[in-house]
């Protein structure tokens, strides 16, 4: 239910970077009589080789001669291991905390700033034995590969992977780039996670945990079937010409659709890629592996570091706007409980779902926009992304 709110953000308030106090609302209907109603309403072939390898591994992890009752009992004995990217603040940290408090999970906090993550874990009161911090910079594919190596060397099983980290650069006038030269928002939020999840799929598949899951955090901002998703600039991947050209801003546009750079749109586009990727994973691997693939919109967590690049006035007004005007505000603690639910709740095992929560914080399967559920586009994004990250 808080769903909309987040999306209403950067572009709802268009405050000039120069700091003019007057906020101009691009979508004036938001302040209209029907706002709360609208908000409520809105809230309301992979390679065969890979498939074969996965199938063989699935068979190999089943111990012959053990009854299923014994196996089930065994499976519930050990702590689950969950990797959470971007666990040093906001939603990722709140999720890590919520899972740590259950005592049933060991959280691998996959973060680019070790010290910040350590301080964050301490200030959240997480007990040392419940987490490990491992370095991961999603804006570098080398770092992603190194993370996977380090994780494997740790000897821990992988039961759940949460792709949560993101950057949002709404006020950037010019694009900035990842180590490999991809526009930073799509390079980090989509391509970094794409490589990470493709590589770790093998590890997830080896897990004997009762329910193994791969979760990619989405957003209402990428869904143009909502009020928030219609606040300009709207997400639109177009014919993917910029993505196919490598998003390098030199011989191709830095934007997926090939248009001029727009930082807010680049973030929304990256979220569409996240949601398409989750569904493509589901289509390609769920049946063979039993892994649950899911995405979610955690609500508008207007206080997180995601808005750090916005001007100070926006950061002051946005939470107030979400709390008292749209009433879509969700605290970091509540959002963490929601994502923790998608990680561990036995009733949320359905694969291919985009979860949302209503005003009573009850989860429901939400509808994705036409573009964010476009099967053909998902296939193309997958195939182009494979090439960009060196998997094809």
Ligand X SMILES: NC(=O)c1ccc[n+]([C@@H]2O[C@H](COP(=O)([O-])OP(=O)(O)OC[C@H]3O[C@@H](n4cnc5c(N)ncnc54)[C@H](OP(=O)(O)O)[C@@H]3O)[C@@H](O)[C@H]2O)c1
Q: Report the interface residues with ligand X, using CB under 6 A.
A: 6, 85-86, 88-92, 111-113, 116, 136-139, 164-167, 188, 217, 219, 297-298, 300-302, 304-306
Query: Closest Cα to residue 368, out of 236, 239, 233, 276?
Result: 276
Residues 6+ apart with CB under 8 A from 196: 85, 136, 138, 144, 147, 148, 161, 163
Alpha carbons within 13 angstroms on the beta-carbon side of residue 133 total 22
- The least CB distance from residue 112 to ligand X, in Å, is 4
CB of 121 to ligand X, least distance (A): 12
297 is catalytic: no
Tokens of 253: 């546009």
Cis previous bond, 233, omega within 30: yes
Residue nearest ligand X (C-beta atom): 90
Identify the residue whose tokens are 């219609």. Answer: 230
Q: Report, in Å, the least distance between residue 110 CB and ligand X.
A: 7
User: In angstroms, what is the minimal distance from the CB of 68 to ligand X?
Assistant: 37
Q: Can you read off the two tokens belonging to residue 53? A: 């390898």
Min separation Cβ 297 and ligand X, Å = 6
Identify which of residues 271 and 284 has a Cβ nearer to ligand X in the complex: 271
Kindly give the residue spans of alpha helices, DSSP state H, lying in 124-192. Answer: 141-154, 184-186
Alpha helices in the chain (DSSP H): 3-12, 35-43, 48-60, 68-75, 90-102, 114-123, 141-154, 184-186, 193-206, 241-244, 263-281, 287-289, 312-320, 332-344, 375-388
Q: Among residues 138 and 348, whose Cβ is nearest to ligand X? A: 138
Closest residue by Cα to residue 200 from 83, 297, 116: 83
Q: Which is nearer to ligand X, 239 or 365 (CB)?
A: 365
- The backbone torsions φ and ψ at residue 261, rounded to the nearest 5 degrees and listed phi first, read -65, 135
The answer for residues whose C-beta is within 8 angstroms of residue 266's C-beta and 6 or more apart is 169, 175, 183, 184, 185, 186, 254, 255, 256
Shortest Å distance, C-beta 171 to ligand X: 15
Active-site residue, from 131, 168, 209, 267? 267
Tokens standing for 389? 């990250």
Residue closer to ligand X, measured from CB, 305 or 352: 305
Shortest CB 283 distance to ligand X, Å: 22
Q: Closest CB to ligand X among 111 and 325?
A: 111
Q: What are phi and psi of 260, to 5 degrees?
A: -65, 155
| Paired tokens of 131 | 């987490």
- Known catalytic residues? 267
């Amino acid at each position: 239910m808080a769903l909309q709110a987040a999306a209403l953000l950067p572009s709802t308030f268009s405050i000039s970077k120069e700091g003019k106090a007057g906020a101009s609302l691009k979508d004036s209907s938001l302040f209209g009589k029907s706002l709360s109603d609208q908000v409520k309403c809105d809230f309301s072939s992979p390679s065969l080789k890979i498939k074969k390898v996965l199938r063989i591994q699935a068979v190999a992890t089943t111990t012959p001669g053990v009854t299923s009752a014994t196996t089930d009992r065994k499976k519930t004995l050990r702590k689950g291991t969950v990797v959470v990217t971007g666990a040093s603040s906001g939603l990722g940290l709140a999720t890590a905390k919520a899972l740590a408090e259950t005592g049933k999970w060991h959280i691998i906090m996959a973060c680019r700033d070790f010290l910040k993550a350590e301080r964050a874990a301490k200030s959240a009161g997480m007990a040392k034995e419940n987490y490990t911090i491992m370095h991961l910079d999603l804006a570098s594919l080398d770092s992603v590969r190194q993370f996977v190596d380090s994780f494997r060397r740790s000897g821990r099983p992988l039961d759940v992977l949460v792709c949560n980290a993101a950057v949002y650069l709404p006020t950037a006038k010019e694009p900035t780039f990842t180590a490999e030269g991809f526009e930073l928002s799509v390079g980090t939020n989509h391509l970094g996670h794409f490589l990470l999840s493709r590589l770790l799929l093998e590890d997830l598949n080896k897990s004997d945990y009762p329910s193994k899951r791969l979760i990619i955090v989405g957003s209402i901002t990428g869904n143009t079937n909502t009020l928030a998703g219609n606040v300009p600039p709207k997400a639109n991947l177009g014919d993917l010409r910029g993505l196919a050209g490598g998003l390098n801003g030199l011989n191709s546009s830095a934007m997926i659709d090939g248009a001029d750079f727009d930082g807010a749109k680049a973030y929304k586009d990256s979220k569409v890629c996240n949601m398409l990727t989750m569904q493509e994973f589901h289509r390609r691997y769920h049946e063979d592996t039993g892994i649950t693939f899911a995405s979610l919109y955690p609500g508008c967590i207007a206080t997180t570091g995601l808005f750090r690049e916005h001007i100070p006035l926006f950061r002051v007004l946005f939470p107030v706007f979400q709390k008292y005007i749209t009433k879509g505000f969700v605290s970091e603690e509540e959002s963490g409980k929601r994502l923790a639910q998608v990680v561990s709740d036995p009733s949320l095992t359905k694969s291919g779902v985009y979860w949302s929560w209503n005003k009573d914080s009850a989860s429901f399967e939400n509808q994705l926009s036409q573009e964010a559920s476009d099967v053909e586009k998902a296939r193309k994004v997958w195939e182009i992304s494979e090439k960009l990250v060196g998997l094809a």
